[in-house]
Structure 1
Amino acid sequence: MQDLLDNAVTAGVAPSAVAVVDIAGRSIGPIAAGTAVAFGPDGSPLGAEERVPAHAETVYDLASVTKVVSALTLLALVGEGVLDLDGPVGAHLPSFRGGPRSSITLRHLLTHTSGLPGTWDGWRTMPAHPGRDALLADILSLPLVTTPGTAFAYSCVGFTVAMALAEDATGQPWPELVAAKMLDPLAALDPRAASLTFSPDRSACAATELQVVPVCGSVRGMVRGEVHDETAWALGGAVANAGLFGTASAVLALGTVLRDHAQALVPEALAVELWQDQLRRIIGSHSGPGFGHGLGLRIGQQEWMGAHGRTARGHNGFAGTSLLMDRDHGVVVVLLTNRVHPSREHNAMAGFRSALADAVFAAAPDERA
């Protein structure tokens, strides 16, 4: 595994990488390679004495791996009867009352079948310091691109809407909900998860991108210890589509709990649905390898889950992160990188993730045999 990481860093896939895996209850790693901070505030390469090497406890921006924790938080609220998985979100959000939007449910949002657009570009055009409420209102007013429940289209906007739904239903800010409903219970089950946070120690973090395009009027510069995603940052950093940080061991803790006893986090019936492919039920077509989706978990995306990942679940993240879980083989694979440091031009992560997954599957027993 060390060779895989070293070779990827040498090839320029990412400046740094940390990986840890679990095979049938036996952990291997974390193993680190490369430089967590390789470029200075202006994007110029740092000298050898100024660089910060990656190590087992380096904290990474998890990017869309955050969605796994967000989905669990929302399902916990469903289990408590606060939210309805199949009720209209318009019951809480006025902008979703009337027209096709009135049929959108939390299940649609968690499976990317809501018909909402993938991203929100308002961070490019909104004035400086408009306030979170104004930004969120703009996101909640976005028009549909397809009829709800008819097609799969990956949507960060959908998770933002789900966050707004939860905040309205509970009257609590999103980071408080995530901590109370998921992060604290998860850490109680596995103390390694304690580093999962929306507010990391900057000095412990790998750096991400040099951002020179204004976000709501502000130029961010070299990003470190703050969420890379522009929408998440504009909304305060702690949102449902991105914003969590953590070590590889913390993400492994999440993955092993979901693989082995997800019902410890959400009611058993919802834990089953979390894992099951929802798309045939919702859009009425065969999903198949590479196209499946549970309630917040991507399914069988072999381009990054590997040749043997047809039954794998998990999520990847734009900044260069991924969590893969496979119950048939008893594996969990965590790979954290800062591939967007200092720019997002590095774009060879799928092959890197796949090679690591292939190596882990090769070492794992097949529980179906």
Structure 2
Amino acid sequence: MSVRFWRPLPRRLRVGAVVAVLLAGSLAGLVHDTPATAVAVPSDQVTSHGPGAGRGHGRGFDEPAVGFAPPSTRLVPATPEEVGLNTAEIEGMLADLRAYLEAPSDGRPLYPGAVVLAAHDGKIVVHEAMGHAVKYADANGTELPADQQVPMRPDTIFDMASISKLFTSIVVMQQVEAGRIDLDAPVASYLPTFATNGKESITVRQLLTHTSGLPSWRRLWDYPDRESRIRAALEVAPKAPPQTLYEYSDLNLITLGVLVEKVSGKPLDVLVREGITEPLGMVDTGYNPPAAKLDRIAATEYQTDPPRGMVRGSVHDENAWSLGGVAGHAGIFSTANDLAILAQTILNGGTYQRQRILRRESVAQMLADYNEAFPGHAHGLGFELDQRFYMGALSAPSTAGHTGFTGTSIVIDPLSRSFVILLTNRVHPRREWSNVNPARRVVADRLAQALAVTPRRGRTAWYTGRDDATTATLTLPVRLRTDRTRLAFDLFVDTEDSDRLTLEISRGETWEPLPFVVASRGRVSEHDGVISGFTGRVWQVARAEIDGPPGEVRIRWRFTSDPSQRGRGVYVDGVRLGDAEGTLFDGEREPDAFLADGWVQADR
């Protein structure tokens, strides 16, 4: 028996780089010939595609948006149902987060408290607090008396830690727009001290994308004053030549904070206030929060080096603290509500409530991947991209966000016009107690699952489910009538690369891959029987051709997942078989013919 592709296609029609396709079609017509030439084509049209278009609710997961959201989009509360989300998934998100408040077998909960906010198409569908903003008295985890513990509130103010880097990056882009900074100019042309130790060629862009070669960190608080600490940061020796290594580095952003102060003549905190928080109405966001807000601030860590005791209301990061609480890499305090405004501003292309803080072209550049040479480390200008370890099932080449060491995260998904913010005080009372990435993935996964994938034919489609470390099979026994049979089916794939769907065929005890072609919206690709990863969040038509004598065969869709980090999953619908005599099998008419092990029929 031989297996052939249904319709061989000219190579010029086959899919190129998935990232380039996405950026070309999903961010306001963003052209991504090379990172250095990325530009945005203005477009304020809300465009929906797919079977759910025009259903009277928010877009589904299989209806990727084109371009930025209309600049008039503003955040308002809504129920999940009002925007087409699955309420059970939103309730499951909250239940999962509450479960992390309970101590597992090691006696340590994932965090004392949390605030979560999720929005879709400008509608806030959940904003809830749980647990405690202050719970412990010391580094040993001694609980405070009940009357001294402070419950978490929706408006609790958190130390954002490295999410502060996004604010610095926006300020950098504002200075680029003002003509004071050239992204590809050497940093030393603005800060001559930076040229020491062979760093003359490092550019501003390389600092933003963490490809400068600088080490990740340097202990600054051992130096006697702010001036010597800044000098120590600027004069640090590189770890590698620029553009040869991805190394996430606080020193990159500390340097950028100093740079924007130099070119503008204003302190960083003033630049953030005048350029971001005041125009956007972010009333609880800034550095060094006033004492009057202390009762709303979540505690962080009990620190002994330096000996600061229980930190609350002062920046947790020791280097930022030693720099007076204002630094390019850390220092921002904010709330979920304020961060939501920033997220929607990014989705709107730099505008919120008629206040523009960035040009659309600048936002597009911030969301373009400049690190294709460093697989797994996709990065825009300040924003991290496509990091499944905390973006979960919302991950895509255009998904942007950042995390903070204190337990904070923000995930912005332009394709679904959604975002989710999780703020925790996971370092309270000690940083070693937990890793909050499971909770970060949970909120992203649940929001992705709440977004519908609409069956292409009929009311249901076959779905793999969402379990990790499993193998699910969907088998179709069928008798072929002729020596040439055509198979077609609708296919939706959104997984990480290591979670794979294999199409197979058997005439006896053994199985062999069945090559197939998938096509959708002018994109065509050939597969040797295996498909995985990001495929555009759209339904595709898959086709294969089976050559061989008539007789009994089995066709199988086998999905294998690894131990962690799932995407939205795989759907198969509308299975059809045909030959010279006509239709051989129609899966919509004969659903009971399938033997499902791990696959279920799903209506969304």
Could you tell me which runs of 5 or more consecutive residues in structure 2 were left unpaired when the two chains were aligned: 1-92, 104-108, 454-535, 539-604
Distance 1:318 1:236 in 2: 19
Quick one: distance in 2 between partners of 1:233 and 1:361?
37
Whether the aligned pair in 1 keeps the contact of 2:187 and 2:203 (CA below 8 Å) is yes
1:236-267 superposed Cα distances (whole Å, 9 cap, x missing partner): 10111011111111111111111222263222
Query: Are 1:303 and 2:389 counterparts?
Result: yes
Deviation at 1:26, TM superposition (A): 1.4
Segment of structure 1 superposing worse, 89-98 or 200-209: 89-98
Deviation string for 1:7-55 (max 9, x for gaps)? 1111411000000010122102321111110012676310111110001
Query: Separation in 2 of the partners of 1:358 and 1:346?
Result: 24
Do the aligned residues in 2 keep the contact of 1:315 with 1:323 (CA within 8 Å)?
Answer: yes
Instruction: Find the counterpart in structure 2 of residue 140 from structure 1.
Output: 234
Q: In the alignment, which of 249, 254, 272 is matched to residue 178 of structure 1?
A: 272
Which structure has greater helix proportion? 1
Fraction of identical pairs, as percent:
35
Q: Which amino acid aligns with 1:53?
A: P
Q: Which residue of 2 aligns with 1:206?
A: 298
Q: Which residue of 2 aligns with 1:7?
A: 99
Larger mean CA deviation between 12-21 and 34-43 belongs to 34-43
Please, what TM-score do these two structures have when normalized by structure 1?
0.91
CA RMSD of aligned residues (A): 1.7
Give yes or no for contact 2:114–2:129 (8 Å, CA) kept in 1.
Answer: yes
Query: Which of 208, 232, 253 is equivalent to 1:110?
Result: 208
Instruction: Work out the CA distance in 2 between the residues paired with 1:165 and 1:138.
Output: 15
In structure 1, the residue matched to 2:34 is none
After TM superposition, the structure 1 stretch with the greater mean CA deviation from structure 2, 242-251 or 32-41, is 32-41
Q: Distance in 1 between matches of 2:268 and 2:139?
A: 33
Match of 1:52 among 150, 157, 164: 150
| Contact kept in structure 2, 1:331 and 1:364, CA below 8 Å | no
Question: Match for residue 286 of structure 2?
Answer: 197
Mark the structure with the bigger radius of gyration: 2
Residue matched to 1:190: none
Query: How many residues were matched structurally?
Result: 350
What SS does the aligned partner of 1:293 have?
Answer: coil
Asked if 1:226 corresponds to 2:314, the answer is yes
Contact 1:329 1:365 in 2 (8 A): no
Q: Which residue pairs with 2:177 in the alignment? A: 79
Structure 1: which amino acid aligns with 2:411? L
Once the two structures are superposed, residues 82-110 of structure 1 have per-residue CA deviations (whole angstroms, 9 ceiling, x without a partner) of: 11111111112122336641111110111
Could you tell me which amino acid in structure 2 is paired with residue 256 of structure 1? Q
Return 5+ residue gaps in structure 1 as ranges: 188-192
Aligned to 1:241: 329
Q: Amino acid of the residue matched to residue 226 of structure 1?
A: S
Q: In the aligned structure 2, how far is the partner of 1:365 from the partner of 1:148?
A: 43
Normalising to structure 2: TM-score of the pair?
A: 0.56
Question: Which is strand-richer, 1 or 2?
Answer: 2
Classify the secondary structure of the residue corresponding to 1:324.
strand
Shift in alpha-carbon separation, 1:246–1:298, aligned structure 2, 3 A: same
Q: Distance in 2 between matches of 1:167 and 1:348?
A: 34
**Counterpart Cα distance in 1 of 2:230 and 2:186:** 19
CA contact (8 A) 1:2 1:33 kept: no
The equivalent of 2:124 in structure 1 is 27
**1:70 shift after superposition:** 1.1
- 1-structure distance, mates of 2:176, 2:280: 17
Q: Does 1:169 align with 2:255?
A: no
Cα distance in 2 for partners of 1:362, 1:272 equals 27
Counterpart among 407, 429, 434 of residue 320 in structure 1: 407
One-letter amino acid matched to 1:144? P
Among residues 414, 422, 429, which one is paired with 1:335 in the alignment? Answer: 422
